[in-house]
Amino acid sequence: MKKILRVLAATAVLASASFAADYTIKMSHVVSAATPKGQAADFFAKRVGELTGGKVEVAVFPNAQLYNDNAVMKALKIGNVHIAVPSFSKFTSLVPAMQLFDLPFLFRDRAHLHAVLDSEVGQILKDQVTAKGFVALDYWDAGFKHFSSSKKPVINPEDAAGQKFRIMSSKVLEAQMKAVNGSVQVLPFSEVYSALQQGVVDGAENPLSNFATKKFNEVQSSLTLSEHGYLGYLVIMSEKFWSKFPDEYKGKVLQAMKEATAFERNLAAEEDAKLLAQMQEYAKSTGKMKIYTLTPEQKAAWAKIMEGIYPQFYETIGEDLIKKAQAVK
Ligand code: SIN
């Protein structure tokens, strides 16, 4: 009997050894695993495993379990984590021109945004990130941002006055809120729920995926479908890690990333519609949050004021780059 058990144990060790990966890629992000970004990170991990026959594994750490977005840049530099998916605003101090994507009302719609990302403009910005010692991979989507508040519904630009909004660390977002006389507090994403709950801030701006998966509806009494700006991501890799990564697997990892990008972009568009229905149902069944849709006139009033900040960023972002993005068909 003992002998049989020993043989079984040895077989188990051998079996697990034959499945053990030779390389582990640590991937960090700050949102829920249920968001399009979270699901795409898991999809990427699965495809890397499949394409490399299990020789390379991707360990995904969601919800800022490892690092928040500021700390992750340093961790990537020294190779403590290998891939991260920060939102565009988180690149502000590294590549200030990335704030292009924070400009309110810059993108006509999702198709225009994708055309810009995939154009010379997207490549110029990737090159700037690469020049800072990272490997710039692909652009991923979250969605158009909406205002929410627990103090007063944000419907007309005047409604922002006297309210404090959580923003990501971006001079453009700061200027955007100043333009409508709102005040701001920069906070990492992991602290937004409690800041809203405790009244440290009155409101925020989020795409539906982040709003719903982090249950911000529990701590906000109004949501305005303002679509005043866009939230997206650049997937980046540690140059230190990639330069030592074996060539034989590089193509497979890049292939998995390409597939994950297509998966992510489709999912982000699909989920937006589903989450809106979910939030509408929540609003109706609980009566705890009201959802507002802007009339074209109200939207135009927001755009007129907020677009007024563009010239302030002609130098940091580049007037040319802004005009190029606007001109993309
Ligand atoms: C994210 O989607 O990665 C977080 C965005 C935020 O900080 O609001």
The pLDDT value recorded for residue 12 is 39
167 touches ligand 1 (CB under 6 Å) = no
* Confidence (pLDDT) at 19: 62
Residue 295, classed as helix, strand or coil, is coil
Q: What is the pLDDT along the chain (329 residues), one digit of tens a residue?
A: 444 444 444 443 334 444 689 999 999 999 999 999 999 999 999 999 999 999 999 999 999 999 987 899 999 999 999 999 999 999 999 999 999 999 999 999 999 999 999 999 999 999 999 999 999 999 999 999 999 999 999 999 999 999 999 999 999 999 999 999 999 999 999 999 999 999 999 999 999 999 999 999 999 999 999 999 999 999 999 999 999 999 999 999 999 999 999 999 999 999 999 999 999 999 999 999 999 999 999 999 999 999 999 999 999 999 999 999 999 99
Give residue 108's pLDDT.
95
Measured between alpha carbons, how far is 83 from 285 in angstroms, rounded to an integer?
40
Burial (CB count within 10 angstroms: exposed 0-12, middle 13-18, buried 19+), residue 65: exposed
**Ordered structural domains, the chain, with CATH:** 2-91+132-141+232-272 (3.40.190.170), 145-230+275-327 (3.40.190.170)
Residue 5 confidence (pLDDT): 44
Mutating to test ligand 1, I would choose from 31, 65, 140, 187 the residue with most ligand atoms within 8 A of its C-beta, which is: 31
Nearest-atom number in ligand 1 for the CA of 90 is 7
Quick check: CB of 88 below 6 Å from ligand 1?
no
Q: Ligand 1, residue 168: give the atom nearest the CA.
A: 7
Query: Rounded to two decimals, what is the model's pTM?
Result: 0.91
